[in-house]
Structure 1
Amino acid sequence: MQDSTILRRRNAAERRIRHLFRRVRVKHTRHAVHGFKTLIAALLAWVVAGQWAPGGRPYLAVATALLMVNASTVYRSVTKAAQNVLARMAGLTLALVTARLLGPTAAAAAVIVVIAVLAGPRRTADDRLQVASTAVIGLAAAAADPMAGVVPPVLETLVGAVVGIAVNALVLPPLYLEESESAVRGLAHAMGTLLHDMGVGLAHHRLAAASHTWLLRARNLDERLTRAEEQVQRADESLRWNTRCAAQARRKGDPTASEALRALRGVSLQVRGIARTLADNAHGSHADHRLGQQFLDRYAETLQLAGAAVQAFAEPLSRTGSGGTIPRERLHGAIEGAMTWHEAMTGRIEGGTLARPGAWHVYGSLMTDVERLLADLDRVDVHVRRVAARAAR
């Protein structure tokens, strides 16, 4: 037991070190790519728009291109470009109208601010602010020469948006698949580790001493779940309108990050329920409702099996575990073992062979949580296998 614990900790430390080096390498590579794409977009926007921009200085086109090329995804660069162009057109149109009616005066600026603030509930605060600032800046130019003051900024904005989108879409468009998969694997590892630690703690009769810590760790899973959801959403968005279509292909039989996250979202509820039930039972005031040690010893084994199943669930199919065992096979082995024990314990409860009958409702709660946890994993795994079978035909 001690040797296996040392080996597990050593493997976990090695995984964390590899993960750290991989994150540093990816971060530096991404910064270099962003710098390269930013330089290309700025130079291209200057060359294209500089031929007809006033004075040959298309600063607005370059600034717009920089905004678009540094969007986190291609989809976001397109939507941001549309919002930017529409906001600038609305601001310059507003400047043209107020300059015609009131001239470049303080009253015109005040009218612009009021109209922009009351532009409607569908516009966000940033959109209204951009409309107002563009209108105020273009107010003087629109009053002096409407066409020369309004048309070139709109054209520069369009050129900069097109250049920024094109560079972002064609030159190594951003993808976040690795980050999302890493976040999901980290979440699964945290849940599996907690289940394993609860199982080991119950086996060593540490329920009263460690139950509060388990509950805190279970509650902290919500933060990891939120971060994983954000990463998965960004990865899914990065696949939209992305020219790197080959990156969408995944290994057959592997769950996508979205599918795995949906299962883990349900698992997190069950893990938190188990931790809460154990903590309440450890510190409850009803002595006749305390769990019997016979049940806790067998439940400890089930928690360790469930922990192994959760940790194996998010692993890619091509990665093998100890002894060359594929994680999918270890997952089903854990599920079958836990289900067999579940049936045996249900029979003991029904037959009245377990002590402390006043704690039957606690037995039922804990066993139901484990059953639902494994059922969630099994349901998604069966779905993934069916998808892989259809893809192989």
Structure 2
Amino acid sequence: MQWWRRLAWEAAALRRSALRAVREPGRERDTLIQSLKAAAAAILAWAVTDWWWESPMALMAPWAAVALVQSTVYRSLVSAVQQVAVIGFGTILAAGAAAATGNTTAAMALTLPVTVLLGSWTRFGTQGIYAPTTALFVLAYGSTSFADVGHRLLDTLVGALVGIGVNALILPPVHLRDVRAHLDWLPHETAELLHIMASGMERGYERVDAERWHDRARLLHSNLADLREARVWTRESYRFNPGHHLRRRGPALPPSDVDAAWERVTHHLMSLTRLLADAAGRTPSLRPPHADALEPLGALMRRAAVASMPAQEARERALSEAWDAHGRLKAQVIRKDEETATSLGGFVAETQQLLYALEPETNDADGRHDAASDRDGTTALPHG
């Protein structure tokens, strides 16, 4: 019965995706739109080459068109050049091999190693597979005459132009949602992690707790790679896109230097959670923090959680209170023995760097600490 449960789960997931595609903007709707555009491009290309021109190689047009409704207009153009090139090469090479050998099997033996090797060249991306498949179709169906080769290349070109045109003129894709989603997710997830860590300081934490926090901090850090990739997609989706100026895009995206600021935040979170793990367990490599150190450490993390969110007024007050807690923690270092001072010193250093990373770009009014951008030349975390 296990496969029934799996099938039911898949059916439920498919139903949820279909409902989201209909009810709200998102990846599911974008996928649905691109799928419908690809189908429309294939039908239009078929109508032009089969119904209007009555081409004997009409299949090549919808085959090319459906593959060229890509995730961006720029990607459609690049893929079109790649596809036409590999199909043309596969067609001409196969026809030439057939003419030279007069035998289909011998022609395949000559053609396929070359076209498969060409298809593996990274310059052709996902379109490389069309080189050997085209050669196989040419040889298997015996369409090696000059007229057949000409029709195949012309119909491929028509399909490519139709695919590009449909993608560029009908709701051309602009990738903004993923960047906003990552930039919304990072502060909320950071705040949640810091709140959980603060609760752990208040009740007393175990090594397993710190290891779990470290895993979440690493996930935060790895999300930055997804954010950078989303920005690349956004920039690419503007290239050669005739419709992006007509689309409602909402508020402008924060500049890319925000990514560097979040990278500093997540880096120090990873280091802090690693220190907490090293100072816990049966055989800690660092002296566990005393109870009197856990209170300011927990207060600092709770206020830092508020400071990671975009509410300007609450952030400034939270940062001030976090720095007060940091001062109480720092004062304990000189009162402890060497081993405890070593452990506390690590916590003081990492939390100080974390607070600097969360600083707004302007200095605090009382001048107690500089903004990170003034202190070390890096960008502080902007909000709002």
TM-score range, shorter chain: 0.7 to 0.9
Q: Report the Cα distance in structure 2 between the residues aligned to 1:371 and 1:149, rounded to whole angstroms.
A: 72
Structure possessing the higher relative contact order (Cα contacts under 8 Å, 6 or more residues apart) = 1
How far apart in 2 are the matches of 1:385 and 1:223?
18
Q: CA RMSD in A?
A: 3.6
Please name the residue that 1:7 is paired with.
none
Alpha-carbon separation, structure 2, partners of 1:384 and 1:290: 31
CA contact (8 A) 1:194 1:214 kept: yes
Looking at structure 2, the residues matched to 40 and 232 of structure 1 have their Cα atoms a distance apart, in angstroms, of 29
Give 1:66 deviation, angstroms: 1.4
Is the CA contact 1:255–1:384 (under 8 Å) kept in the aligned structure 2?
Answer: no
Partner of 1:133: 133
* Cross-structure match for 1:3: none
Matches within 5 A, 1:52-91: 52-55=53-56, 58-69=58-69, 71-91=70-90
The residue aligned with 1:328 is 312
Aligned partner of 2:272 in structure 1 is: 274
Q: Any residues of structure 2 matched to 1:143-292 within 5 Å, and which?
A: 145-146=145-146, 148-206=147-205, 210-221=209-220, 224-225=223-224, 227-242=226-241, 243-245=243-245, 251=251, 255-256=254-255, 258-283=256-281, 285=283, 289-292=287-290
State the distance in 2 between where 1:332 and 1:64 align: 56
| CA displacement 1:101-148 (0-9 Å, x = unmatched) | 2124211110001222444855568555421221232236777522x1
Answer whether contact 1:46 1:61 (CA < 8 A) is retained.
Answer: yes
Change (3 A) 1:237 1:348: same
Q: 1:380 to 1:227 in 2, by over 3 A?
A: farther
Q: What CA deviation, in whole Å up to 9, does each residue of 1:218-274 have, x standing for no partner?
A: 34445655555554443443333333135596636x625x44443333322221211
Q: Distance in 2 between matches of 1:140 and 1:166?
A: 32
1-structure distance, mates of 2:74, 2:306: 38
Task: Give the 3 Å change call, closer, same or farther, for CA 270–59 of structure 1 in structure 2.
Answer: same
Structure 1 contact 288–356 (Cα < 8 Å) conserved:
no
Gaps of 5+ in 1: 1-19, 314-326, 389-393
Alignment partner, residue 303 of structure 1:
301
Name whichever structure is richer in helix by fraction.
Answer: 1
C-alpha distance in structure 1 between counterparts of 2:179 and 2:76, whole Å: 20
Q: Is the 8 A contact 1:95 1:135 kept in 2?
A: yes
Greater mean deviation of Cα atoms: 124-133 or 85-94 = 124-133
> Is residue 291–residue 356 contact of structure 1 (8 Å, CA) maintained in 2?
no
How much does 1:22 deviate? 9.0
Q: Structure 1 CA distance, aligned partners of 2:143 and 2:41?
A: 32
Amino acid at match of 2:301: L
Residue 42 of structure 1 aligns with an amino acid whose one-letter code is A
Label 1:135 to 1:193 Cα distance change in 2 as closer, same or farther (>3 A): same
Q: CA separation of 1:374/1:142 partners in 2, compared to 1, >3 Å: closer, same or farther?
A: farther
Cα deviation digits, residues 186-243 of structure 1 (max 9, x gap): 2332222111111122123345673343334334445655555554443443333333
Deviations 1:273-327 (A, max 9, x none): 11111121122647992323222211111111222222x14xxxxxxxxxxxxx2
TM-score normalised by the chain length of structure 2 = 0.76
**Percent identity for Structure 1 against Structure 2:** 27
How many Å separate the matches in 1 of 2:326 and 2:238?
A: 42
Tell me, yes or no, if the aligned pair for 1:289 and 1:356 is still in contact at 8 Å.
no
- Residue 376 of structure 1 aligns to which amino acid in structure 2? A
